[in-house]
């Protein structure tokens, strides 16, 4: 943790306590379903649906669709967002989460909510905070979905990757899509790019829910460490064109369509800052230090205070062709 993390973490905790209920964020956060629209099996139990844990909470975002909203600066058990999508014949778990304990907790929640283990597992991209729990996520036999690039990057770029669990991955073609039928429930798995060289999203079309992986962050400023910024922006615009009701971000809270518009504006603002810095010969470090979040996003938080610099630097590399 960087030295500034104490205040950042305190701010984040204050912010997550309201899970997007701050006045500034509220218009952009996808509203939870009304209890009346849920079937009895989905009604909140004494500990809540999935329960509020130190590492986050599992929230209903559709019919038999739950979003795991992690609070990674408080507790790193699950680390990223993800979720569960249930059909008559199977349950798809989105993400393997940051570690085995988080993945096992999600499987336990799947059993409690749907009375079955996840039968399928989707990796949105290779980063370790989304794939670190792969061993536990597959120990009940879930089939694995990813792209070839993501599978290869988990193997070649992550430490201690469970290589033996990746060989039988079912692959969605780069730039293409595959429809998974869970039984009365179709999930479109769409391969995009931009946060990394290969990003896979899940779209529950009948319920208007998108699991965007790290293509969309909401309430937390995105990590551009591997980003191709122009591709990222193009992918976010494609997701927006799906006109979904709920976008489950990779980190932060859920967004509605207006929230995705605001996120796109933020990405465009970063691009303008980078183009301006490039034109004036200013370093990414200086431009990052001068970058200010737009009005209405002042309460967004950062994993790391250098994320503005990293984002502007990624754009400047792309602009200069290096
Ligand atoms: Zn990532």
CA of 34 to the centre of ligand 1 (A): 31
**Within a domain: 164:** yes
CA of 88 to the centre of ligand 1 (A): 31
pLDDT digits (tens, 9 = 90+) for 210-260: 999 999 999 999 999 999 999 999 999 999 999 999 999 999 999 999 999
Average pLDDT of span 91-99:
98
**Within a domain: 264:** no
**Within a domain: 284:** no
CA of 221 to the centre of ligand 1 (A): 12
3-state SS of the chain is CCCCHHHHHHHHHHHHHHCCCCCCCHHHCCCCCCHHHCCHHHCCCCCCCCCEECCEEEEEEECCEEEEEECCCCCCCCCCCEEEEECCCCEEEECCCCCHHHHHHHHHHHHHHHCCCCCEEECCCCCHHHHCCHHHHHCCCCEEEECHHHHHHHHHHCCCCCHHHCCCCEECCCCCEEEEECCCCEEEEEEECCCCCCEEEEEECCCCEEECHHHCEECECCCCCCCCHHHHHHHHHHHHHCCCCEEECCEECEECHHHHHHHHHHHHHHHHHHHHHHHHCCCHHHHHHHCCCCCCCCCCECCCCCHHHHHHHHHHHHHHCC
**Within a domain: 131:** yes
What's the pLDDT at 22?
Answer: 53
> Percentage of the chain surpassing pLDDT 90?
78
Average pLDDT of span 79-102:
97
CA of 44 to the centre of ligand 1 (A): 31
**Within a domain: 312:** no
CATH of the domain at 35: 3.60.15.10
Statement: residue 305 has pLDDT above 90: no
CA of 40 to the centre of ligand 1 (A): 35
CA of 214 to the centre of ligand 1 (A): 5
CA of 45 to the centre of ligand 1 (A): 32
**Within a domain: 32:** yes
Statement: residue 293 has pLDDT above 60: yes
Statement: residue 319 has pLDDT above 50: yes
Statement: residue 184 has pLDDT above 60: yes
pLDDT digits (tens, 9 = 90+) for 107-124: 999 999 999 999 999 999
Total number of domains in the chain: 1
145: containing domain: 22-217+225-256
**Within a domain: 4:** no
**Within a domain: 55:** yes
């Amino acid at each position: 943790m960087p030295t500034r993390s104490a205040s950042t973490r305190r701010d984040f905790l204050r912010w997550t306590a309201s899970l997007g209920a701050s006045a500034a964020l509220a218009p952009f956060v996808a509203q939870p379903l009304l209890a009346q629209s849920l079937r009895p099996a989905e009604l909140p139990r004494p500990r809540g649906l999935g329960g509020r844990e130190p590492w986050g909470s599992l929230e209903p975002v559709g019919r038999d669709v739950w979003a795991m909203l992690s609070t990674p600066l408080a507790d790193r058990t699950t680390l990223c967002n993800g979720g569960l999508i249930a059909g008559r014949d199977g349950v798809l778990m989105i993400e393997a989460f940051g570690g085995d304990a988080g993945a096992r907790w999600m499987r336990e929640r799947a059993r409690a909510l749907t009375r079955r283990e996840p039968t399928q597992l989707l990796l949105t991209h290779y980063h370790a905070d989304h794939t670190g729990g792969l061993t536990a996520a597959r120990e009940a036999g879930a089939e694995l979905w990813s792209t070839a690039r993501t599978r290869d990057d988990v193997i070649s770029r992550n430490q201690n990757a469970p290589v033996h669990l990746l060989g039988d991955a079912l692959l969605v073609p780069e730039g293409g899509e595959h429809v998974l039928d869970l039984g009365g429930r179709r999930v479109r798995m769409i391969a995009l790019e931009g946060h990394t060289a290969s990003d896979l999203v899940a779209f529950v079309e009948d319920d208007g829910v998108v699991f965007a992986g790290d293509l969309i962050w909401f309430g937390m400023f995105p990590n551009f460490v591997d980003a191709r910024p122009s591709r990222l922006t193009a992918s976010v615009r494609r997701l927006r064109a799906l006109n979904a009701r709920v976008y489950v971000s990779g980190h932060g809270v859920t967004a509605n369509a207006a929230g995705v518009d605001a996120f796109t504006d933020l990405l465009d603002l970063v691009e303008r800052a980078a183009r301006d810095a490039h034109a004036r010969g200013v370093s990414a470090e200086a431009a990052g230090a001068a970058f200010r979040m737009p009005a209405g996003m002042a309460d967004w938080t950062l994993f790391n205070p250098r994320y503005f610099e990293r984002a502007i630097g990624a754009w400047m590399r792309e602009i200069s062709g290096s």
